[in-house]
């Protein structure tokens, strides 16, 4: 790496793994560096923010981002994705209509939530088209790096994607299936009946010693995820 995580304003979580909390919507993005690859997890809320993240990731990894995993299709996580030219973009299976439909729904949601209308229109106009859809548990080839595992599930949306980076400690990027800085948000695209089970799967994937990275807020442990799982089950009346 040409700069340290601290110099770049990122939080180091494990060897070759870090994350950054973004201003505005307090989204988290992650970076995994290993072998000949660099995996970015989520891309920020605008093209300009994505460009800043790309520059930081290249400085940290010493190479361009080769893979980009998007945890779900909400504007604050995907609108910066178009700047990662050449990266293999991975999303949960079932999202083709969102990414190939022109991005109008995402643009409208971004404006409703306070993104500058011109920035929202620009991002929607050049919305990235994923190269790979993840339908089941998948191991990502990191060209000699860690055997990163991708898990497609549902809860916060109908098509969520979690990312496990094995190591000491393991790190699980949860997207908005887990939130720390506020109550988990359940919009019209949420699947509440499946949310607690999705968190059970994350806990099974990462284990008791993992670091769990929420879509918004501070890094948490398995106990926090388990408590949030139980709170969601009570909130939605499911087991």
Rounded to whole angstroms, the Cα distance separating 155 from 70 reads 15
pLDDT (tens digit per residue) in 58-70 = 999 999 999 999 9
**CA-angle at 164, arms to 237 and 145, nearest 5°:** 170
Q: What pLDDT digit, counting tens, does each position of 106-129 carry?
A: 999 999 999 999 999 999 999 988
Specify whether the backbone of 237 is left (phi greater than 0), alpha (psi in -120 to 50) or beta.
left
Confidence of residue 239 (pLDDT cuts 50, 70, 90): confident
Please give the pLDDT value at position 1. Answer: 55
pLDDT score recorded for residue 58: 96
Asked whether the beta carbons of 60 and 52 are under 8 A apart, the reply is no
Contact by Cβ (8 Å): 214, 178: yes
Q: What DSSP designation does 188 have?
A: T
Mean pLDDT of 205-221: 98
Q: Mean pLDDT check: name the lowest of 53-57, 142-146, 178-182.
A: 142-146
Task: Tell me the average pLDDT of the chain.
Answer: 95
- How far apart are the two ends of the chain, measured CA to CA in Å? 45
Dist CA 238 CA 66 (whole Å): 39
d(CA 175, CA 225): 12
Q: Is the pLDDT of residue 209 over 60?
A: yes
* CB 126 within 8 Å of CB 80: no
CA neighbours closer than 13 Å in the CB half-sphere of residue 8: 26
Helices (H), the chain: 47-61, 75-78, 96-100, 104-112, 117-125, 195-206, 222-236
- pLDDT of amino acid 121: 96
Contacts for 165 with CB less than 8 Å, ≥ 6 apart: 14, 17, 32, 146, 148, 171, 172, 173
Q: Please, are residues 123 and 46 in contact by the beta-carbon 8 Å criterion?
A: yes
Q: What percent of the chain has pLDDT over 90?
A: 88
* Alpha carbon distances (Å) from 59 to 28, 41, 66: 18, 16, 14
């Amino acid at each position: 790496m040409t700069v340290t995580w601290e110099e770049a304003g990122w939080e180091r979580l494990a060897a070759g793994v870090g994350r950054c909390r973004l201003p505005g919507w307090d989204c988290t993005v992650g970076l995994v560096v290993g072998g000949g690859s660099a995996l970015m997890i989520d891309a920020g809320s605008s093209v300009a923010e994505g460009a800043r993240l790309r520059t930081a990731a290249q400085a940290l990894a010493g190479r361009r981002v080769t893979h980009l995993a998007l945890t779900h299709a909400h504007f604050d996580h995907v609108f910066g994705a178009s700047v990662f030219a050449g990266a293999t973009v991975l999303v949960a299976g079932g999202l083709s209509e969102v990414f190939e439909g022109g991005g109008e729904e995402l643009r409208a949601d971004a404006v409703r939530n306070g993104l500058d209308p011109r920035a929202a229109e620009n991002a929607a106009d050049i919305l990235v088209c994923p190269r790979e859809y993840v339908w089941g548990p998948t191991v990502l080839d990191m060209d000699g790096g860690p055997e990163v595992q991708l898990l497609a599930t549902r809860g916060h949306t109908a098509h969520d994607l979690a990312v496990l980076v094995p190591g000491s400690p393991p790190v699980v990027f949860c997207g908005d299936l887990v939130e720390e800085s506020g109550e988990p948000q359940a919009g019209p695209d949420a699947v509440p009946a499946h949310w607690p089970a999705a968190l059970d799967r994350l806990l099974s994937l990462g284990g008791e010693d993992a670091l769990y990275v929420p879509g918004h807020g501070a890094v948490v442990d398995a106990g926090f995820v388990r408590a949030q799982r139980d709170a969601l089950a009570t909130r939605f009346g499911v087991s």
